[in-house]
Chain A
Amino acid sequence: MNTTGSTGRRRASSDEIPAIPAMPGVDPRLSRILQVRDHSGEQRRWHLLDSGPLLAERGITPRGTLLAVHGNPTYSFLFRSLVRADIPWRLIAVDQLEMGWSERTGMKRRYQDRITDLSLLTDALSLRGPVVTVGHDWGGLISAGWALDNRHDVVGMILTNTGVHQQLEEALPKALQLATAPWFRTPSTSVTDTFLRTTLALSKPALPREVQDAYLAPYRGRSRRLGIDQFVADIPAAANHPSRPTLERVAAGIQELNVPTLLAWGPRDITFHDRFLRDLIQRVPHADVHRFEKASHLVWEDADVAGLVADWLETNFGTAEEPRTEAPAWRAVSSYAEPAPERHIGAPIAELAGDPRHAHRPAVVELGGEDGERREISWSLLNRRVDDIAAGLLGHGVRPGDRVSLLITPGADLTGVLYACFRIGAVAVVADAGLGLPGLTRATIGSHPDWFIGIKKALVGARALGWPGRRLSVEQLPTVDRVALGVETSIAELARSGSLQRELGAPLDAAWPAPEADAAILFTSGSTGPAKGAVLTHRQLGAMFTAVGDTLQLAPERGLVAGFATFALLGPALGAPTVVPDMDITRPGELTAPALAEAIDALGEPAVFTAPAALRNILSTADQLDADGRAAMARAASFFSAGAPIPAHLLRELRDLMPSARALTPYGMTECLAVAAIDLEGIDAAGEGSGVCVGRPVPRVEIAIAVMDELGRTTGEITREAGDVGEILVRGPHVRDRYLMLWGTTHTSMRFTGWHATGDVGHLDAEGRLWVEGRADHVLATADGLFTPVQVEDAAESVPTVRRAGAAVVGPRGTQQVVVILETEDGYRPGKAGRPHPAQPSLQEAVRRAVRERSGAEVVAVFTTRALPTDIRHNSKIDRAALSRWSEQTLQGEKADAL
């Protein structure tokens, strides 16, 4: 018999049967002990969780079996969440031999042995299909191996934080290389329980005490931990490792196992990081992928993986009564909408370059570059540059479908690179610098870019933070920098070589991408949770440009002042000249009136586009305008601000400054940029109402309302009746295709066939105007009924001393209690959000009464703060989730995190 060789002394000789303590969240009836022969022919004692008897007791016919295999150093406890009412599947979650509550035999089990052991167990259980394997960590490899050996029974595969990468040695992160080194391994894995505790400590927020204890329970004592050590020792990192051939067999086999596959991932993993996920996606391109942005290695603990699995199983396999063998054909929301006129993105650039009236007029104007200079690029030059860069990129190896992450200051350079990407069918990944560095890092890593093109500052960050992708700089960098930053070449260099190539008579060798091909991944603001990557096809992106252009009536004669960085990109697509004002793009709120006036002056009678946060700043710096500046402002033809609706009084003041401008406030989201818009006259006509009136839908967009029940859940019913409040649904040719690697989020937002569920709540009025009343997640589901945050906030703001109010809730849905947090006229201090304090009794009483009378909601507590928390990007949306978090903690009697 094989023993642990030199460590045989420590072998668990007599394996006394441990009493299995109660596991939190596990029905004790799930626990099962079984004696089965292993690959060596010996009877071994297995522990497993088996929900079969429980389902039978409840009269549920299972759709099939989930065979779940844990990794190191966990055990079947990891999968306890899979026993739930909306998963009509039998769960068999095993504790592998030497692990969990299964037998300690002292044997060294190789990868293939473990696969064989598992097959012998499932034979003993007479397990027959349909089976969906579930594997985590090294259990993913074992479950995949089992699937290959039992493929006639396997209908699906779920893998979480695992890897089958063949170049393991180089791919293994430092942490794991260290863990596999013998001199480190044994002390850290079996002698002490460091390995175990480290794994458990990766979760943020920390796992509850009783859950940590449950993970540690089977591994108390060194002899019970030997399995962890051997498991780590069997990681086939090196090419000559005995388990290597099995790994290679499984890695190759997994590509042929053509079954529905779900990859669920916690990217905050020091072992199986995104690189392993990318590898798996390449091997199983049809896999549905969901990255839980903030989850760690123990993704099952940190995120609602079981909820995702429930949706995924239902979608792919139906139920026992109504079985299915694959998901229904997928169809984008945009395909249900009236199509927009179709043309290639960037086609107007070539047209204007060929039109003598426009060829030499500016396409992009940058004001206040690094040296304060004005930089101008004409349509003709832009056109040439796009083609040069496109040729250069192709020549350097950028392929259609490659993801290209762009971190370039908006202006001529970014425009050139972006439209070159569109031209050759590379997928541009655009994350707004307003996300902040942590947000940008998450977005960049999370989008798995093949290429990273950035300004020097971004490249330094990319290098320091280990952002993936082959790197290209914008400007040609000195060799020493290029080497230090790992930069292959520059856009400047590629444009030169592309130009040369074209001059030598080799035309740009690239077909226009198909309308169905992915064009761009745009990251959402992150004001409503971690930023999500919205994937748009060429057709959808083109429709989005058209929607904005139609709303603003942009044209070659009607240019655009892009006070909000991202919008500098759409001018060329619409054939409208674009000016980028002198401002820090990461702080769109700091745009000043003189800078805006200068930008307007550069274009004549443009449309002006700003961040909503900039409005107050523009007004407060208006006194710095000279006579020319005032005259320039007066020429602005229209005025538009995205991100959040603008209060009417602000619009009025802005129109005093820009008297000839049509002041528009829009409603939209990254997923569907323009949904509705309203001008000042429209706002006045709409008058007072519940929420903010955002007007009628823009052309080709339809709006509907998803009815909610008393808990704030949509019921599936859709209405367009005036006054019905519910989640806002939109449909348009420019609705995004899907979210990037967020299968669950995509699925949820598309649960109404042909609609994008926005996550916003509101209603339509009798005139067909849309009123927005906050986020659907923040609906207040009280015992007195459902209220929207805006209903409560508007009522609180009717109290004269209140400047701005944020509504929060505490408690479970259906019996939630309403908390109001205020900025008062006297106490308001702009800047970082402050710690709220209980409001004065008289103010509390006034707010309570106002909210009761105007909305019918009861307020349990009122607080004041110097400034409410708002999102980074728009600096205008109140972060109600943060308010609710703070209230939840404070009103529980706990010390709350800072806002």
Chain B
Amino acid sequence: MSAPTILVTGASGMLGGAVATALRDRGATVRAFQRRPAGIDGVEDVCGSLTEAEDVRRAVSGADAVIHLAAKVSISGPESEYRAINIEGTRHVVDALRANGGGALVNVSSPSVAHLGRAIVGLDATLADPTRARGSYARTKAAAELLAMGADGTDGLLVTSVRPHIVWGPGDTQLVGRIVDRARSGRLPLLDQGMALIDTTYVTNAAEAIVAAHDRIQDVHGESFVVSNGEPRTVRDVFAGWCEAAGVPAPTLKVPGSAARFAGRVIERIWEKRPGHDEPPMTEFLAEQMSTAHWFDQRRTRARLQWTPRVSIDEGNAHLAAWFREHPVA
């Protein structure tokens, strides 16, 4: 049997890159699909846009499986953009696989698709809820997940969704980079003392969980899985770990969560009218994420995917520190 061909969308991101690399190392034929070349050795780049059905069809053509990571990830911007990329993009991927005559789809989603603003304490994945999820990203990802899961079992498609929670690791500019940056300039608040317990996922673990979902799809199709390190920490400890790795002081600025949520609402309104060049410094969604617990029951995920995280948070922070030593914060 020849090596399968697997398409990874969004391989230029940290997690997508890790997934593509892991698959390649196992001898799979890996294709990467994104706007600009991902530049991963031994991985064929197919450039294009998720919003273009034809681009997607071209990339998917001949692939046995798709790991679909590409998405618009942000906390601001018009909802139409999110819909086009996250919902329509996913529809294009599903349609393209159908055109192929079927195949496996690992839809990479987010726990926020089922996060309704309240604390999540030791829950397993619940149903994606586009009407009640918070923020454009979560709402459109929820709709995308329902769309993808709805295709499972039709026309030779096998679909599973993996929702890694707060992925971080060396080279991460999205989250770790921003946190460290803000901490360095003293603009990182700890909401409600940063006592909320949250799950995070070291990138290698998230990538391996996604690969495991692909490997196990015959058994686990139709199911959604939240993936995390299974080592929840308080927000303050999470931030402190990254800041220590980067060699910047841990945050000490303390803000009541309610104030931050209120500020988030106000800032979001202003941003709607007069968008800044970056993301808003605070949104209601972000304030909720940083001041309410969200950690998950990992038992089903681990049992069904036959996967356990290999890199602990402490080890992850050590890797992060090593990376920062080579890429010092300016």
A interface residues (Cβ-Cβ under 8 A, vs B): 783, 810-812, 814-817, 838, 841, 844, 858, 860-861, 888, 890-895
Contact = CB atoms under 8 A, between A and B. Distances in A.
Nearest to B257: A893
Contacts of B232: 817, 860
Nearest to A783: B299
Nearest to A813: B122
A891 B231 contact: no
A817 B122 contact: yes
9 contacts: A810-B121, A810-B122, A811-B122, A817-B295, A861-B234, A888-B121, A893-B119, A893-B257, A894-B192
Contacts of A890: 195
B196 A893 contact: yes
Contacts of B34: none
Contacts of A817: 122, 197, 232, 295
A858 B231 contact: yes
A430 to B, nearest CB: 41
Contact of A814 (B195, B231, B299): B299
Nearest to B299: A783
A891 B121 CA distance: 9
Given A812-B121, A858-B231, A861-B234, A895 B299 contact: no
A849 B297 CA distance: 23
B316 to A, nearest CB: 15
A24 to B, nearest CB: 14
B230 interface: yes
B67 interface: no
B287 to A, nearest CB: 10
A891 B119 CA distance: 10
Q: Which 3 A-B pairs have the closest CB atoms?
A: A811-B122, A893-B196, A891-B197
A893 B122 contact: no
Contact of B195 (A783, A816, A841, A893): A893
A892 B293 contact: yes
Given A815-B297, A892-B292, 18 more contacts: A783-B230, A810-B121, A810-B197, A811-B295, A814-B297, A815-B298, A816-B122, A838-B195, A844-B237, A858-B231, A860-B234, A861-B197, A861-B234, A891-B234, A891-B293, A893-B196, A894-B119, A895-B192
A816 B231 CA distance: 11
A888 to B, nearest CB: 8
Contacts of B293: 891-893
Contact of B192 (A815, A816, A838, A893): A893
A708 B193 CA distance: 37
A860 B297 CA distance: 14
Contacts of B295: 811, 817
A815 B197 CA distance: 14
Nearest to B118: A892
B122 A812 contact: yes
Contacts of A858: 231
Interface in B167-198: 191-193, 195-197
A233 B132 CA distance: 45
B240 interface: yes
Contact of A892 (B196, B231, B237, B299): B196
Interface in B211-237: 230-234, 236-237
A838 B299 CA distance: 28
Contacts of B204: none
B195 A815 contact: no
B51 interface: no
Nearest to A816: B122
Contacts of B191: 893
A811 B123 CA distance: 9
Contacts of B292: 892-893
A71 B62 CA distance: 68
A890 B191 CA distance: 12
A566 to B, nearest CB: 41
Contacts of A783: 230, 297-299
A526 B231 CA distance: 35
B297 A812 contact: yes
B260 to A, nearest CB: 11
Interface string B228-270: 0011111011001000000000000000010000000000000
A709 to B, nearest CB: 14
B291 interface: yes
Contacts of B297: 783, 812, 814-815
Contacts, number: 67
Interface residues of B, number: 26
Interface in B93-111: none
A890 B193 CA distance: 10
B240 to A, nearest CB: 7
A290 to B, nearest CB: 30
Contacts of A841: 240
B74 to A, nearest CB: 24
A891 B122 contact: no
A812 B296 CA distance: 10
Interface string B273-311: 000000000000000000111010111000000000000
Contacts of B298: 783, 815
A845 to B, nearest CB: 9
Nearest to B234: A861
A838 B193 CA distance: 10
A815 B291 contact: no
A636 to B, nearest CB: 49
A314 B42 CA distance: 66
A837 to B, nearest CB: 9
Interface string B65-85: 000000000000000000000
A719 to B, nearest CB: 26
Contact of A815 (B122, B193, B236): B122
A892 B121 contact: yes
A860 B295 CA distance: 11
Contacts of A891: 195-197, 234, 293
B121 A811 contact: yes
Contacts of A894: 119, 192
Interface in B1-21: none
A84 to B, nearest CB: 20
Nearest to B123: A812
Nearest to B312: A858
B227 to A, nearest CB: 14
B119 to A, nearest CB: 4
A811 B257 CA distance: 21
B92 to A, nearest CB: 37
A888 B295 CA distance: 12
A841 B238 CA distance: 12
A606 to B, nearest CB: 52
Nearest to A890: B195
A810 B122 CA distance: 8
Contacts of B230: 783
A698 to B, nearest CB: 41
Nearest to B237: A861
Nearest to B240: A841
A838 B234 CA distance: 10
A841 B234 CA distance: 12
A757 B230 CA distance: 34
Nearest to A887: B197
Given A812-B297, A817-B295, A861-B197, A892 B122 contact: no
Nearest to B241: A841
Contact of B299 (A815, A861, A888): A815
Nearest to B298: A783
Nearest to A837: B193
Contacts of B240: 841
A381 to B, nearest CB: 63
A838 B236 contact: yes
A384 B230 CA distance: 71
A894 B119 CA distance: 9
A97 to B, nearest CB: 37
Contacts of B257: 893
Nearest to A895: B192
Which residue among B122, B240, B299 has the maximum number of chain A CB atoms within 10 Å of its CB? B122
